[in-house]
Amino acid sequence: MASERESKPSVAVAIPAYNEADGIGGFLKEIDRALGPHASSLHLIVVDDASTDNTGEVVEAARPELSATVELITNPGNLGHGPSLMQGYQRALALDPDYVLQVDGDGQFHGSDLRRVLVLLNDDAHAVSGVRRFRQDPWFRMIMTRLVRTYVHSSFGVLARDPNCPLRGYETAVLRELLPLVPPNALVPNLYLTVVASRRGLALLEVDVSHRVRRGRSAEGSTWARGPGSVIPWRLVRFSLAALRESRAFRARMDTPGWARGAVR
């Protein structure tokens, strides 16, 4: 039994969350059931981005029911999804597991697809990214994904079917190489990870994954919800414009001499 356990990889999962009290407890249990039997150790890192509901309490309540080790990081103020994800990645690297996986806390994926990512990594894939099939999102988010795919191809020369997908996994050594090239407070770190992986000549294996309605009372959630009487989620529009400006600055830095040899400044 000991040798069998030692042959399994150690895994850390970075999980940014904001106002996910409705569904995150059940999602953590699903992740635990899916990955626990296939890992020598499983560490779930939940970064609670100053939720206004009881997300943190729900995570703590789920802890005794999980075989995984759970670490809850609570931001003192709302930093946004990107910086929270960067915190999760950095903490995962500090644990030095064999593999680092990532999934958002809204539970729009199935634990079985996280297990697929882990199996592919264990079968010698160095980096794996999900491709959301049959998106279960409001119309404006699906349009945004199509625009992002076109933009990444035209601006960065990278062909990726779902470049910002929040379900992915990396060999720790690979993520340790790529993450310093991403701005520490990046709004869209997964998109940049897709780009820098391609720029480094790393094959990012894309795999179709199922997508489901957000776990909770609202399919939109509180982050990109539309205002009363509005068909346009203006907060998402403002975020997208800010991310576009940031990505252009990132693109310019990529063209500077020595960029590929060091971290983003």
Q: Looking at residue 190, which CATH number applies to its domain?
A: 3.90.550.10
pLDDT exceeds cutoff 70 at 220 = no
* pLDDT of res. 5: 53
User: What is the mean pLDDT of the segment spanning 138-154?
Assistant: 76
Read off the pTM. Answer: 0.89
What pLDDT, on a 0 to 100 scale, did the predictor assign at position 264? 46
Give Cβ neighbours of residue 261 (< 8 Å, ≥ 6 apart).
none
| Containing structural domain, residue 68 | 2-261
Of 118-127, 145-154, 245-254, least confident by mean pLDDT is: 145-154
**pLDDT, mean of residues 94-101:** 98
24 near 53, Cβ under 8 Å?
A: no
The per-residue pLDDT for 33 is 98
- How far is 215 from 32, CA to CA, in rounded Å? 17
pLDDT of residue 80 exceeding 60: yes
Q: Is residue 152 scored above 70 in pLDDT?
A: yes
Domain count, the chain: 1
Give the integer Cα–Cα distance in Å for 243 and 232: 18
Share the mean pLDDT of the chain: 88
What per-residue confidence (pLDDT) applies to 1? Answer: 46
Residue that wins the pLDDT comparison between 263 and 120: 120
The beta strands (E) that lie in the chain are given as 10-17, 41-48, 69-74, 99-103, 127-132, 167-171, 205-209
Closest CA to 68 of 110, 115, 35, 108: 35
The residue-averaged pLDDT of 98-116 equals 95
Identify the band that residue 184 occupies on the pLDDT scale cut at 50, 70 and 90: confident
- SS3 state of residue 103: strand
